[in-house]
């Protein structure tokens, strides 16, 4: 909550120097006093100082005190405004009341009465501002509680969807396995078409298994269980993901090639999360390829302390003004094709969560290289 200054501020707006200086002298020992000789200057000081009380002359050249009062109420609904005039006319008093003046005093004012009114209205202003702040804080708290309730509802709904999706994947996986067994036992099992079908079914089974692992990860997130970190052979994982992405590449007449993935390069972390990151990198690269002659090259290198994985494509490239935005959530150039802008955001989140870093280099019309670096697991492998 904002603290209240110990010394209140009084703003005096009057075109006559006599009343202005009288009020300054009368109040200077107890208040910070700011003075203005016209409404426009007074409004500037109001924005700068946030006074506790405004003493405002009604009749002034240019904008009148009533006009100034309307503007003050628009800027600050809580500040007390005492209207001053040398003319005790009923119509001016009524105008002041209609525009929410806090008080009305005639010139020449009584010094004792003025000091008493100033003190009373300072207290009223501060009390109103306190209630306004408390109301705002209550509104914010209500919004947070509503948001938390909504998140709890979404968490429960997510748990239900995980359960139902897992059931559906069980059916898909079981059907694929049955088809594989039927192919192996059929008289045509040695034919090239049967071998290709068996290979595709095997790929389907592996992908369904991976989807099950993703559901496990999703379930752990719902129930706030920690991830399962282990020693992961990154090269083997890259080969598996690249193989799973081959049908996507073939659909656009492209190739995915792996370089330097024959060795054993160990990192420590969650294999499912690493697989998510690599899949997003490769599929993003495939989506940027030209209609023919598209190539994606996945390279793994080490420097003794880190492993560097690079995914390079010969696609359309990324404009320079977008390079800083590609890892932001919801940024996408594929919105019309169903893109959500989450792929590279997920990559960065996973890699940085494992102590690594992500970088991008691109040239429009020539292609893009996405690079991620992860610390090597130098601990000896356990049997």
Helix (H, G, I), strand (E, B) or coil at 291: coil
How many domains is the chain built from?
A: 3
Query: Nearest CA to 104 among 122, 128, 88?
Result: 88
Pairing of strands 9-13, 32-36: parallel
Choosing from 225, 260, 289, the residue where a domain stops is 225
Asked whether the beta carbons of 282 and 244 are under 8 A apart, the reply is no
The stretches in the chain having pLDDT less than 70 are 1-5, 87-99, 147, 151-152, 154-157, 159-164, 166-167, 169-170, 185, 188-190, 218-227, 330-331, 333-341, 380-383
- DSSP tag of 31: S
Q: What is the per-residue pLDDT for 263? A: 84
Given the structure tokens 């330097």, which residue do they identify?
260
Question: What is the pLDDT at residue 60?
Answer: 87
Backbone angles phi, psi at 347, to 5 degrees: -55, -50
**Rounded to whole angstroms, how far apart are CA atoms 124 and 114?**
15
Runs of H (alpha helix) within the chain: 17-27, 39-49, 65-75, 90-98, 111-185, 192-222, 234-251, 271-287, 343-353
346-374 b/e (C-beta count within 10 Å ≥ 16 → b): bbbbbbeebebebebebeeeebbbbbbbb
For residue 356, give the 3-state DSSP assignment. coil
Same domain, 235 and 313: yes
Q: How far apart are CA 334 and CA 340, in angstroms?
A: 8
Alpha helices in 50-110, H assignment, sequence order: 65-75, 90-98
Contact call for residues 277 and 346 (beta carbons, < 8 A): yes
Within this chain, do residues 341 and 261 fall inside the same structural domain, yes or no?
yes
- Determine the 3-state secondary structure of 306 from DSSP: strand
125 inside domain:
no
Measured over the CA atoms of residue 270, residue 271, residue 275 and residue 281, the dihedral's sign is: positive
> Which pLDDT does position 149 carry in this prediction?
73
Burial of 137 (0-12, 13-18, 19+ CB in 10 A): exposed
Task: Let me know whether 197 and 238 are in one domain.
Answer: no
Q: What is the pLDDT of residue 337?
A: 47
**pLDDT value of residue 139:** 81
Query: Is 198 domain-assigned?
Result: yes
CATH classification of the domain holding 79: 3.40.50.2300
Token representation of residue 28: 């200077």
Same domain for 290 and 341, yes or no, is yes
pTM: 0.50
Domain boundary (190, 225, 260) is at 225
pLDDT of residue 3: 46
* 3 domain residue, yes or no: no
Q: What is the pLDDT of residue 43?
A: 94
Residue 302: in which H helix or E strand, if any? strand 294-302
For residue 135, tell me if it sits in a domain: no
């Amino acid at each position: 909550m904002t603290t209240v200054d110990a010394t209140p501020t009084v703003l005096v707006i009057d075109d006559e120097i006599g009343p202005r200086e009288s009020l300054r002298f009368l109040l200077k020992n107890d208040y910070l006093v700011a003075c203005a000789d016209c409404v426009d200057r007074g409004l500037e000081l109001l924005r700068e100082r946030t006074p506790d009380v405004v003493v405002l002359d009604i009749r002034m050249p240019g904008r009148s005190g009533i006009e100034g009062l309307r503007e003050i109420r628009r800027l600050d609904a809580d500040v007390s405004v005492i209207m001053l005039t040398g003319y005790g006319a009923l119509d001016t008093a009524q105008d002041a009341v209609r525009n929410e003046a806090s008080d009305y005093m005639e010139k020449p004012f009584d010094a004792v009465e003025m000091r008493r009114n100033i003190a009373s209205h300072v207290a009223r202003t501060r009390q109103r501002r306190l209630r306004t702040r408390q109301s705002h804080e209550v509104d914010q708290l209500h919004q947070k509680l509503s948001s938390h309730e909504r998140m709890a509802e979404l968490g429960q709904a997510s748990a239900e969807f995980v359960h139902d999706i897992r059931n559906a994947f069980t059916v898909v996986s079981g059907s694929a396995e049955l088809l594989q067994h039927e192919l192996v036992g059929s008289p045509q099992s040695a034919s090239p078409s049967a071998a290709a079908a068996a290979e595709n079914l095997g790929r389907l089974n592996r992908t369904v298994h991976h989807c099950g692992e993703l559901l496990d990860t999703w379930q752990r997130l719902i129930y706030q269980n920690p991830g399962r970190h282990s020693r992961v052979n990154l090269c083997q994982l890259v080969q598996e993901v690249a193989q799973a992405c081959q049908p996507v590449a073939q659909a656009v007449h492209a190739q995915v090639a792996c370089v330097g993935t024959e060795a054993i390069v160990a990192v420590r972390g969650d294999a499912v999360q690493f697989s998510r990151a690599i899949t997003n990198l490769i599929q993003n690269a495939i989506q940027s390829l030209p209609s023919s002659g598209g190539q994606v090259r996945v390279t793994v290198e080490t420097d003794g302390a880190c492993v560097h994985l690079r995914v390079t494509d010969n696609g359309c490239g990324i404009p320079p003004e977008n390079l800083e935005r590609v890892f932001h959530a919801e940024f996408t150039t594929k919105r019309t094709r169903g893109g959500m802008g989450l792929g590279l955001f997920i990559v960065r989140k996973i890699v940085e969560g494992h102590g690594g870093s992500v970088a991008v280099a691109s040239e429009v019309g020539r292609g893009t290289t996405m690079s991620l670096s992860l610390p090597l697991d130098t601990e000896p492998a356990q049997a």
